[in-house]
Structure 1
């Protein structure tokens, strides 16, 4: 079957209750279900969960979308986008519809019904590669970034762009959990800009300069930024990189609290600012934060998942070492933590679902 198949063995058990604290289970996560594509050259490029946590969707570089039922631990559906390609697939707040960026033909963002594989709407306007898509936590607004030096604000109910910011290389963006702030990252200018959602047409109310931190921890050559994410408590802002670690900033004043150091280096995926002719595989950043905001999880050049406790007080040199290396079968080049239950998903070529192992708790 074209979607690939799971490794032999019993299906993953139903997802456990979300009442267990992440701190009680974080060190016990182990792979429980692994899905292999039939084509060994195929790689996953993005991953997202729906609001309920029941479904996960991955985009692959074979121009397909794969939907998985996390509760049952099985593949649910394949959708094809052979003509336009697919990247940065995101569930809307309605689980049977998604948005995604095109990788072929044009730079249109497409709104797709997964129920009958039909397009609901097209969001046209970007004139170069879309590098980031972020859905508003509270409504049907979303933001997109592009190599055309714009950030666009959209609503799923309209074809027309609701607003536009013209910035230099604004490759990443994120909403804070209260949906009142938009953060935009421009790696080329080493800056993160914070905008009031209600007044995005005004200058940013805060700008965080990252040049000194980059030179200190990533060297003169630096490293591409691959992801921008707020913790769910809104207190911290994560900048994942394609280098030897990730930055954790105080979301209010931009001060560095931690540099999450990974000795073995990155998982090897391209960042959003990579030139179009770069050799390598796209990604969406190989890091994520747990829903309680306590842990940062990341892949590396080794198999498995690194875990940092970012709730710890900052050290004198700001370097934070991993508290755990969760053993896995492959690299976690893409990683996500289920928003509703203690389940991890990681991917490189395969997709792996992880659950706490009761024998290790």
Structure 2
């Protein structure tokens, strides 16, 4: 299955193409749920974290698991690539040490520990522009870090479970909690938010917040099963999609397609849904035998998204379902 990115699927994403998508490949050898996954921005690598206390590195075009690293002592919950494709930052899951860790997957060495949170880290985002990252915790703090320094560089207090994310340029980050999305200038965050947007009275706990690749849209998921889409410049709430609510220990995750036109999302009953953001129409839904929301992320630059539950699945268009090839470039 070796393919270069641009020859993967020489077609444009459309309602018809998205509706045809199904699992093209699955890794079923997880004995635990996948709690987090991240695609590297500039390579074909994927990293996953799972309840069986392992971190796995995959080569996507060759459908290969390159490496499995166990973190038995600390457990592993959230994982993110740094700019380097074999270095990750991850949060622990053991309930007694909430440090974040910078880990080299090459030689399984810890390069740095980041200590500061006193409760579970529930959100993690790395700046695409430099070595900075932000973490949000159930201890109601958001900490700002520099990967080269063990001590946090800044602290922001919040009044709820924070969801955090940088935009694609790394110039702005957002913190969402309790029905509001707060926008910060990454270079002068200590001045406080430069904008505060309301998500229409939904004060359910924030789960994940993300920017579209062009920075124009923000999505926010909440525990009661709402996926809100906002205009990131004007702050207007453009649409809200509703799925089954999630339980306290689960996270509802959704992801923009690379062009920002579609959203794929998990659901509290394990299903996967897709919507067209422009006309707010539901494009597809896929039932699951799972009963918890999968983690879900679009593969950068490819016509493919990944879901992680008790197995890792890659979703691709089923060409036999496409009546015409009018969508081919």
Pairing partner for 1:128 from 100, 119, 137: 119
Q: Is the 8 A contact 1:14 1:73 kept in 2?
A: no
Q: Is the 8 A contact 1:286 1:333 kept in 2?
A: yes
Does structure 1 residue 286 correspond to structure 2 residue 253?
Answer: yes
Q: Is the 8 A contact 1:30 1:328 kept in 2?
A: no
Equivalent position SS for 1:22: coil
**Structure 1 residues 268-279: aligned runs within 5 Å:** 268=246, 270=247, 274=248
Give the alignment's TM-score, normalised by structure 1: 0.81
Q: What do the CA deviations read for 1:249-283 (whole angstroms, capped 9, x no partner)? A: 11122211101133xx24x4x5xxx4xxxxx5x44
Q: What do the CA deviations read for 1:305-352 (whole angstroms, capped 9, x no partner)? A: 21111123xxxxxxx441222466756511111012122111211111
Change (3 A) 1:38 1:182: closer
2:227 alignment partner in structure 1:
246
Q: Is the 8 A contact 1:69 1:75 kept in 2?
A: yes
2:306 alignment partner in structure 1:
345
Q: What do the CA deviations read for 1:55-87 (whole angstroms, capped 9, x no partner)? A: 111111111112222111122211111101111
Give the alignment's TM-score, normalised by structure 2: 0.89
1:81 alignment partner in structure 2:
71
Q: Is the 8 A contact 1:291 1:337 kept in 2?
A: yes
Equivalent position SS for 2:187: helix
Q: Is the 8 A contact 2:30 2:310 kept in 1?
A: no
1:344 & 1:164 partners in 2: Cα distance?
34
2:325 alignment partner in structure 1:
none
Pairing partner for 1:237 from 218, 221, 236: 218
Pairing partner for 1:46 from 33, 36, 40: 36
**Structure 1 residues 250-269: aligned runs within 5 Å:** 250-262=231-243, 265-266=244-245, 268=246
Equivalent position SS for 2:241: strand
- Please state how far the C-alpha of 1:237 moved relative to its aligned partner: 0.9
1:6 alignment partner in structure 2:
none
Q: Is the 8 A contact 1:296 1:308 kept in 2?
A: yes
1:91 alignment partner in structure 2:
81
**Structure 1 residues 191-202: aligned runs within 5 Å:** 191-202=180-191
Q: Is the 8 A contact 2:270 2:294 kept in 1?
A: no
**Structure 1 residues 212-231: aligned runs within 5 Å:** 212-214=200-202, 223-231=204-212
Change (3 A) 1:289 1:143: same
Change (3 A) 1:38 1:149: closer
2:326 alignment partner in structure 1:
none
Please, which runs of 5 or more residues in structure 1 have no aligned partner?
1-10, 215-221, 275-279, 313-319
Change (3 A) 1:301 1:164: closer
1:324 alignment partner in structure 2:
284
1:12 & 1:299 partners in 2: Cα distance?
28
Change (3 A) 1:181 1:170: farther
Q: Is the 8 A contact 1:30 1:327 kept in 2?
A: no
**Structure 1 residues 288-327: aligned runs within 5 Å:** 288-301=255-268, 304-312=271-279, 320-326=280-286
Report the more deviating stretch, 85-94 or 58-67.
Answer: 58-67
Equivalent position SS for 1:62: coil
Equivalent position SS for 1:87: coil
1:317 alignment partner in structure 2:
none
2:30 & 2:256 partners in 1: Cα distance?
31
Please, which runs of 5 or more residues in structure 2 have no aligned partner?
323-329
- Please state how far the C-alpha of 1:357 moved relative to its aligned partner: 1.9
Change (3 A) 1:347 1:12: farther
